[in-house]
Copies of this chain bind each other. A is one copy, B any other.
Amino acid sequence: MAEKLKIVSLGGLNEIGKNITVYECHGDILVVDAGIGFPDDDMYGIDVVISDISYLVKNKNRVRALVLTHGHEDHIGGVPYFLREVNVPIYATRMTAGLVELKLEEHHLLENAEIITVEPGEFFQAGCFEVEFIHVNHSITGAVALAIHTPLGPVVHTGDYKIDTTPISEEMIDLARLGELGKQGVLAMLGDSTNVENPGYSASERNIGQHFDSLFEGCRDRIIVTTFASNVHRIQQVIDTAARHGRRVGITGRSMENVMKVSTRLGYLKIPDGVMIEMSQIKNIPKDKLCIITTGSQGEAMSALYRMAFSGHKQVEIGPGDTIIISASAVPGNEETVSHIVNELFRKGANVIYGKRMDIHASGHACCEEMKIMLGLIKPTFFIPVHGEHRHLKLHAELAKQMGIPPKNIVISDLGNVIEVTQKSIKINGSVQSGRIFVDGTGVGDVGSVVLRDRKHLAQDGMLVIVLSLSSEDGSLVSGPDIITRGFVYVKESGVLIDELRDLVLATLENCRKNNIRDWATIKASIKGDVSASLYKSTKRCPMILPVIMEV
């Protein structure tokens, strides 16, 4: 039997988020990342979205390890759900491990988890796979690419990366090692496609520091900076800039406080002496000697910045004399919530510096030219674009063709498809169960398409319950019909409409009686049909109609 490597993406293709990739060879399974996604606008009431891992659960005795490339939610947010089903050792850098531990503690899963820290340059064995961590730059510290040495040859799994030649408190991405692997021969590469729509090179994290400096210089306002809690380099730069300009720094927002604790403990964040100040003490500091770092860069309701904007924050009330720096770009889908908060901050009289006014954010993902450097160094035999929507994968494939990879050696896959790689060929061969699992409250997977369809229907036009009691003896009307509506029309002003509907239901009942219809399912269907037709005619709306018959 010829040797085969199977690669399956259970998340992270055609959608940003919930990355999870499966490598399978010689009966051993290696899983890379276990992220969550955030719900689309039409996933009413859903909190987070995870991947269907039935395939891994079914084969859990063959799963050797879960490897995490870095600590962002779309790569580690699903670890608790994964571990409950498939408890295997987790390999990660110290920073990633620190964030995962926080998460597992919240889910009361830390005790039973085995987490092994690995540093860039180190190797470990997981079944027939030897995995090597390679340092990359990204918008979180401790991010790595993987060289997965398989029996067929090495596969480079880039993870999320950028090339930052002047990073903050870390090295430039280990291009030398990637080039070395390329020279020795790389079987396949799975490359991050996120920013393929952006030509050129990504900005260096260090540039942002220069912008901060120019904003702090001569500023008499209180300065409030918001960014992603996990962006330790950005936070480091804000703290350093504040210190240089003689400002004390307060931190607010739960996730910001959590990440600060982990990154300070592990030495990733270096705090100059005497700079930090408790939020409870900030009222004693003059405005021009203060800087506050806060969560809320995505306009999240109830984040610290949101509460500040809408006067719900304990220690901070926004007004003239505040400069707010939003050092983050809006994640697709969050544009409106961010706009909302920016408008409100302006309305309160603050000066707001945000992306459209000034470039105060650097993306953590490679742009086109960086992608081409990676392809040129790694020179993989086979190329699989990952981490992007379909258009991103297509454009990344185009880049690879430009770099000389033959079209037949490039595969754009879909969730659950099995990519079969031999030393000579790559193709899609079958698929495994995959899909989205919705998490709503404590329920994992109990909300599916039927429930969502009903929520959508209820959201559009509301509902109308029609209750009546019929005699079990002769089917005559004993009580009702009572009509209750929610989300349909404002009832106090719609008495006439409701009275008309009640008359209509009575007429329908009379009609059923005349036709000797005693079957309640048929009666309910008649009521529903008549009411629905009447409402559509008079209002052009289709509320959900629920007839309920009580037998008394």
Query: Considering the chains assembled together, what is the distance between the CA atoms of A336 and B482 in angstroms?
Result: 42
Query: Considering the chains assembled together, what is the distance between the CA atoms of A188 and B552 in angstroms?
Result: 74
User: In chain B, what residue has the closest Cβ to A342?
Assistant: B391
Chain B neighbourhood of A197, CB < 8 A: 356-357
User: In chain B, what residue has the closest Cβ to A546?
Assistant: B484
User: In chain B, what residue has the closest Cβ to A388?
Assistant: B343
User: In chain B, what residue has the closest Cβ to A336?
Assistant: B333
CB distance from A545 to the nearest CB of B (A): 11
Cβ-defined contact, A484 with B454, below 8 A: no
Cβ-defined contact, A544 with B480, below 8 A: no
Cβ-defined contact, A44 with B460, below 8 A: yes
Query: Considering the chains assembled together, what is the distance between the CA atoms of A460 and B336 in angstroms?
Result: 19
Query: Considering the chains assembled together, what is the distance between the CA atoms of A538 and B446 in angstroms?
Result: 13
Query: Considering the chains assembled together, what is the distance between the CA atoms of A35 and B274 in angstroms?
Result: 57
User: In chain B, what residue has the closest Cβ to A535?
Assistant: B441
User: In chain B, what residue has the closest Cβ to A540?
Assistant: B441
Known: A469-B479, A552-B469. A490 touches B336 (CB 8 A): no
Cβ-defined contact, A448 with B335, below 8 A: no
Q: What mask results when residues 479 to 509 of chain A are scored 1 for a CB within 8 Å of chain B, else 0?
A: 1101010111110011000000000000000
Query: Considering the chains assembled together, what is the distance between the CA atoms of A480 and B548 in angstroms?
Result: 11
A390 within 8 A of B: yes
Cβ-defined contact, B465 with A487, below 8 A: no
CB distance from A160 to the nearest CB of B (A): 19
Chain B neighbourhood of A339, CB < 8 A: 332, 389, 391
User: In chain B, what residue has the closest Cβ to A440?
Assistant: B541
**Residue from the set A339, A448, A462, A484 with the largest chain B CB neighbour count within 10 Å:** A462
Chain B neighbourhood of A461, CB < 8 A: 45, 440
Query: Considering the chains assembled together, what is the distance between the CA atoms of A483 and B486 in angstroms?
Result: 17
Known: A336-B333, A550-B467. A390 touches B347 (CB 8 A): yes
Within 8 A of B (CB), among A415-443: 440-443
Known: A343-B390, A541-B441. A486 touches B467 (CB 8 A): no
Chain B neighbourhood of A389, CB < 8 A: 339, 343
Q: What mask results when residues 528 to 546 of chain A are scored 1 for a CB within 8 Å of chain B, else 0?
A: 0000000000111100101
Cβ-defined contact, B494 with A446, below 8 A: yes
Interface size on A (CB < 8 Å)? 71
Cβ-defined contact, B493 with A343, below 8 A: no
Cβ-defined contact, B548 with A451, below 8 A: no
Q: In the complex this chain forms, how many copies of it are found? A: 2
Cβ-defined contact, A45 with B447, below 8 A: no
- Which residue of B347, B465, B468 is within 8 Å of A546 (Cβ)? B465
CB distance from A455 to the nearest CB of B (A): 4
Within 8 A of B (CB), among A131-160: none
Query: Considering the chains assembled together, what is the distance between the CA atoms of A91 and B12 in angstroms?
Result: 54
Chain B neighbourhood of A336, CB < 8 A: 40-41, 332-333
Query: Considering the chains assembled together, what is the distance between the CA atoms of A463 and B352 in angstroms?
Result: 41
Query: Considering the chains assembled together, what is the distance between the CA atoms of A540 and B46 in angstroms?
Result: 12
Chain B neighbourhood of A443, CB < 8 A: 489, 539-541
Cβ-defined contact, B479 with A45, below 8 A: no
A478 within 8 A of B: yes
Cβ-defined contact, B391 with A451, below 8 A: no
Cβ-defined contact, B463 with A463, below 8 A: yes
CB distance from A364 to the nearest CB of B (A): 18
User: In chain B, what residue has the closest Cβ to A478?
Assistant: B552
Chain B neighbourhood of A356, CB < 8 A: 197-198
A171 within 8 A of B: no
Query: Considering the chains assembled together, what is the distance between the CA atoms of A540 and B462 in angstroms?
Result: 23
- Which residue of B40, B333, B447, B482 is within 8 Å of A490 (Cβ)? B447
Query: Considering the chains assembled together, what is the distance between the CA atoms of A197 and B346 in angstroms?
Result: 14
Cβ-defined contact, A482 with B451, below 8 A: no
Within 8 A of B (CB), among A452-482: 452, 454-463, 465, 467-469, 478-480, 482
CB distance from A514 to the nearest CB of B (A): 24
CB distance from A232 to the nearest CB of B (A): 29
Known: A460-B45, A541-B441. A480 touches B335 (CB 8 A): no
A551 within 8 A of B: yes
Query: Considering the chains assembled together, what is the distance between the CA atoms of A484 and B544 in angstroms?
Result: 13
Chain B neighbourhood of A551, CB < 8 A: 479
Chain B neighbourhood of A467, CB < 8 A: 467, 548, 550
A395 within 8 A of B: yes
User: In chain B, what residue has the closest Cβ to A349?
Assistant: B394
User: In chain B, what residue has the closest Cβ to A494?
Assistant: B446
Cβ-defined contact, A489 with B357, below 8 A: no
Query: Considering the chains assembled together, what is the distance between the CA atoms of A544 and B490 in angstroms?
Result: 17
The 3 closest A-B pairs by CB, nearest first: A441-B540, A459-B459, A458-B458
Query: 17 A–B contact pairs at CB < 8 A?
Result: A198-B356, A332-B336, A333-B336, A339-B391, A342-B391, A346-B390, A440-B461, A441-B541, A442-B538, A446-B493, A450-B490, A451-B488, A455-B459, A459-B459, A465-B546, A467-B548, A469-B552
